[in-house]
Copies of this chain bind each other. A is one copy, B any other.
């Protein structure tokens, strides 16, 4: 199995759970926030989807496309599917040479790391916020939740 296939599997083992949780968020809960200083559920989901996509774009040295506008903004499952599909395409484009190349994000994030490290960081970021989202979704009244990673 190629390295990019391994990375895709690892990404999807978490993202498919994220999308499962997103599917449980009803429109009336988009503005739900556990505390006044928390991100709302809608903000958290959009942050997760766009962050991974932008970091994967940087790893692939591609300019990110605009994947949603105001009309789509209230359809989180649609956005989840679209960002997931585009993120997978970016991962699939990563050759072994590209994975070893450094990506300089000194200006925006203060890091200059190989593309493979950047993708690892993006997946860790996804897992962290999925951990937040589990608590949000349980607080919305859902008691039957999936495992944190898809086998």
| Chain A residues engaging chain B, CB cutoff 8 angstroms | 14, 34-35, 37-38, 110, 121, 124-125, 127-136, 138-139, 143, 148-149, 151
Contact = CB atoms under 8 A, between A and B. Distances in A.
Chain A interface SS verdict (over half): helix
25 contacts: A34-B135, A34-B138, A34-B139, A35-B139, A35-B143, A37-B143, A110-B151, A124-B127, A124-B148, A125-B148, A127-B127, A127-B128, A127-B131, A128-B128, A128-B148, A128-B149, A129-B131, A130-B131, A131-B132, A131-B133, A131-B134, A132-B132, A132-B134, A135-B135, A135-B136
Given A35-B143, A38-B138, 15 more contacts: A34-B135, A34-B138, A34-B139, A37-B138, A37-B143, A124-B148, A127-B128, A128-B128, A128-B134, A131-B131, A131-B132, A131-B133, A132-B135, A135-B135, A135-B136
Contacts of A34: 34, 135, 138-139
A86 B78 CA distance: 45
Nearest to A121: B149
Q: How many copies does the complex hold?
A: 2
Contacts of A136: 135
A124 B136 CA distance: 19
A110 B147 CA distance: 14
Nearest to A37: B143
A136 B134 CA distance: 12
Nearest to A14: B124
